[in-house]
Amino acid sequence: MQHILHTFWRLGKLLQVQIGGGRYHMMGLFDMVMIKDNHISVVGGVTNALKSVDTYLEQNKLQMGVEIETRTLKEVNEVLDYASRTKTSLCRIMLDNMFVHSRMGELTYPCFWKL
């Protein structure tokens, strides 16, 4: 019973986001692969993480999007480089806690870039 209530609670939260003009990126862990920063650290970088996931999806004949969490602009560039030269299921790049520096050098706003 508790599982059913949790499911309806989650659907309600998703509806709230849509009504507010937002878009939820995934329903659960079953409809998309999310590569988090700790996964990247374990396998030795974003390129290795993406290669591993793409290989797994291909070997198991799975079609789903891949979202990757990046911590630095260097990682973002590595992801973009990988995506430009490789067939990949990558569909989103998350910019984790990145801030824009103003011309005066102080931190201003978190980055929200649409790629």
- pLDDT tens-digit map of 32-69: 899 999 999 999 999 999 999 999 999 999 999 999 99
**This model's pTM is above 0.75:** no
Tokens (6 digits) for 21: 């003009």
Q: Where are the alpha helices (DSSP H) in 20-96?
A: 37-43, 46-59, 73-85
Residue 84, classified by CB atoms within 10 Å of its CB into exposed (0-12), middle (13-18) or buried (19+), is exposed
Q: Which of 21, 81, 19 is nearest to 46 (CA)?
A: 81
29 versus 110: which is more confidently predicted?
29
pLDDT of residue 50: 97
Mean pLDDT of the chain: 81
The pLDDT of residue 3 is 64
CA dist., res. 45 & res. 72, Å (int): 12
What pLDDT does residue 14 have?
Answer: 76
**What would the two tokens of residue 77 be?**
């560039």
Helix (H, G, I), strand (E, B) or coil at 20: coil
